């Protein structure tokens, strides 16, 4: 789900090891990381969203293109479909 700015913060993790992914999160997320979900970009763009890299910090990107606040049930529906895609390939990882 997006934040108040209509963005969902993600890291692009293609091509790096599992340890490097956890390390990336540890370096740049100011909270203890308990788990993560991995999804390929095409599954996100298939839903009409965009993945826009800003590399601030390294490998960071934002998912944009969410519906307006008044249509947020659509956002929940899209988020549910993305969650299902992650579940389908067992890509939720607990630390």
Partner 1 sequence: MSTATYCPNCPSVSNFLDFGFSPDFEGLKTFCDKVIGDFRRTETFSRPIEETIAALMEVFKECSVEDWDGTGALPVSEDAVLDAAKLIYLLPSNMTFPMPSITAEPNGEIALEWYRGNRSIFVVSVSGKSEIIYAGLYGTNKTHGIEYFGSSLPPAIISNLKRLYSGR
**Which residues in this chain contact partner 1 in the complex, by CB under 8 A?**
1-5, 8-9, 29-31, 34, 72-74, 76-77, 79-81, 83-84, 87-88
**Other Cβ atoms within 10 Å of 62 Cβ, number:** 18
Closest separation between CB of residue 20 and partner 1, Å?
Answer: 19
Closest separation between CB of residue 83 and partner 1, Å?
Answer: 7
32 Cβ neighbours under 8 A, 6+ residues apart: none
Distance of CA 69 to the CA centre of its chain: 19
Closest separation between CB of residue 16 and partner 1, Å?
Answer: 19
CB-CB contact of 74 with 67 (8 Å): yes
Q: Which is nearer to partner 1, 45 or 81 (CB)?
A: 81
């Amino acid at each position: 789900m997006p934040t108040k700015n209509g963005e969902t913060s993600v890291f692009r993790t293609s091509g790096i090891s599992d340890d490097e992914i956890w390390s990336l999160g540890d370096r740049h997320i100011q909270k203890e990381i308990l788990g993560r979900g991995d999804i390929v970009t095409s599954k996100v763009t298939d839903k009409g969203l965009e993945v826009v890299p800003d590399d601030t910090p390294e490998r960071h990107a934002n998912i944009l293109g969410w519906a307006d606040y008044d249509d947020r049930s659509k956002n929940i529906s899209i988020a549910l479909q993305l969650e299902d895609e992650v579940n389908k390939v067992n890509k939720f990882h607990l630390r």
